[in-house]
């Protein structure tokens, strides 16, 4: 058989062997539980923040703080009142995040200032109480009937948003993080599975039989392809559950999920898996015991962890920043950074194309290096193979064990 047929046979064997195991079922369940817990936690945080507010009242606005709090409580929202003597002090605390909103003025001049979006319950309560304040004062001063006073109440509280938030944009970033999170977890799990599979065949000497009929690079690529197909099926299952759960909890709306996000998620999974699986396979070939898989895989896992942390702390808060853009071009970070930028709609096509080309070029480089390490290490049993020996830098007179 030619190389493609051999790789296909090896991949089919790996696929059928892995998908029928308990490990596949267990990892699928654990991943679904993990992603589901993350979605539920985010939904809880958003719901909690929406039902509990710290609101500052400046000067004369303090006279309506008690009735506003009472009306909001009747509507299911808890408001903690913070009094301020000056507008400057209240604005400073609002900008620093100490309070969620600031109320100033009185009557028709009542103004609600927020850092981002306006809470509808708070706005409703302020409108009602400010109008009631005007009505009471008007009736007291002029002794007019309620019908006459109603003419003075044709106003709404002025709203001033310092940093307006695009709700759709927030949903897109959340979707991007979900995609990146699924890719990250899957690459960690199945990358280690590739390493463990290499070690298993090496320790029980099956690899010696297999290499009598196939070349080392064919065996390595077939193993990576077969396990990768299992991983892809799991990603589809987990992503489906995650999207349904995110929609039910109203964390995101399905219409926000565009075709390019789905396609890019699949593309980045394939590219990211191939890139990291080569590293895991090379690492696994350098040891002979399953107990050593964690130690040899740790450097690769640390890079993946670093990419995920950067996605959470840098890409998600500001997907369009120069720092995030630069990180998305670094091959080892691209699979978890670029999906966030694509989902947020801030990654131009040319940037995505360049990043894909760079990652593909990196895969070819890693394939050459990993193939060399695998070829020089997979038949060596006993202790851990030195990196210099794995690269073929061993003195010419030394033989394989």
Q: What is the mean pLDDT of each run of 10 residues along the chain (401 residues)?
A: 80 86 81 77 62 86 89 83 91 89 88 83 86 79 65 67 57 73 82 84 77 81 89 81 71 55 82 91 84 83 91 86 92 91 86 94 92 82 76 55 41
**308 with 333: CB under 8 angstroms?**
no
Contact 103, 57 (CB under 8 A): yes
How confident is the model at residue 399, as a pLDDT? 44
For residues 61 and 37, the answer to whether their CB atoms sit within 8 Å is no
Question: Sign of the CA dihedral 238, 253, 260, 165?
Answer: negative
In this prediction, residue 360 carries a pLDDT of 95
Residues 374 and 287 sit within 8 Å (Cβ to Cβ): no
CA–CA gap between residue 327 and residue 35 (Å, rounded): 24
Would you state the pLDDT for residue 164? 53
What pLDDT, on the 0 to 100 scale, is given for residue 401? 41
Record the tokens describing residue 288, joined without a space: 């002979």
> For position 208, what pLDDT does the model report?
75
- The CATH number assigned to the domain with range 52-165 reads 3.40.190
Domain ranges of the chain: 52-165, 168-390
Tokens of 312: 């959470």
CA dihedral 26, 32, 36, 37 (to 10 degrees): 30
Please report the pLDDT score of residue 157 as a whole number. Answer: 73
pLDDT score, position 266: 84
- Tell me what pLDDT residue 271 has: 92
Evaluate if pTM is beyond 0.75: no
What's the confidence (pLDDT) of residue 148?
Answer: 64
């Amino acid at each position: 058989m030619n190389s493609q047929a051999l790789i296909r046979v090896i991949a089919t064997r790996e696929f059928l062997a892995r998908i029928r195991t308990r490990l596949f079922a267990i990892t699928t369940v654990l991943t679904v539980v993990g992603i589901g817990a993350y979605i539920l936690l985010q939904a809880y945080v958003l719901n909690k923040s929406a039902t509990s507010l710290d609101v500052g009242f400046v000067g004369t606005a303090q006279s309506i703080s008690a009735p506003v709090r009472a009306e909001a409580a009747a509507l299911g929202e808890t408001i903690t009142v913070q009094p301020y003597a000056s507008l400057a002090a209240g604005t400073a605390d609002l900008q620093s995040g100490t309070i969620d909103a600031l109320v100033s003025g009185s009557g028709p001049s009542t103004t609600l200032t927020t850092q981002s979006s306006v809470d509808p319950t708070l706005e409703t309560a302020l409108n009602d109480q400010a109008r009631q304040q005007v009505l009471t004062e008007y009736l007291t001063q002029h002794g007019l009937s309620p019908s006459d006073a109603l003419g003075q109440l044709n106003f709404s509280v002025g709203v001033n948003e310092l940093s307006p938030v695009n709700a759709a944009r927030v949903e897109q970033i959340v979707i991007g993080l979900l995609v990146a999170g699924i890719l990250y977890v899957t690459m960690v799990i199945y990358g280690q599975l590739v390493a463990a599979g290499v070690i298993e065949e090496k320790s029980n000497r099956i690899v010696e039989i297999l290499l009598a009929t196939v070349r080392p690079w064919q065996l390595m690529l077939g193993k990576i392809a077969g396990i990768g197909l299992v991983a892809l099926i799991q990603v589809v299952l987990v992503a489906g559950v995650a999207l349904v759960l995110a929609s039910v909890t109203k964390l995101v709306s399905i219409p926000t999920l565009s075709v390019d996000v789905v396609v890019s998620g699949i593309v980045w999974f394939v590219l990211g898996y191939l890139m990291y699986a080569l590293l895991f396979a090379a690492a696994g070939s350098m040891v002979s015991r399953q107990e050593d898989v964690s130690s040899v895989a740790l450097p690769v896992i640390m890079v993946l962890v670093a990419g995920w942390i950067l996605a959470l702390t840098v890409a998600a808060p500001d997907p369009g920043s120069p720092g995030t853009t630069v990180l998305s071009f670094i091959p080892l970070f691209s699979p978890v950074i670029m999906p966030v930028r694509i989902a947020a709609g801030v990654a131009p096509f040319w940037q995505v194309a360049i990043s894909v080309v760079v990652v593909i070029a990196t895969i070819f480089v890693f394939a050459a290096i990993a193939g060399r390490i695998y070829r020089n290490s997979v038949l060596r049993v006993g202790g851990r193979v030195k990196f210099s020996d794995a690269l073929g830098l061993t003195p010419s007179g030394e033989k394989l064990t």
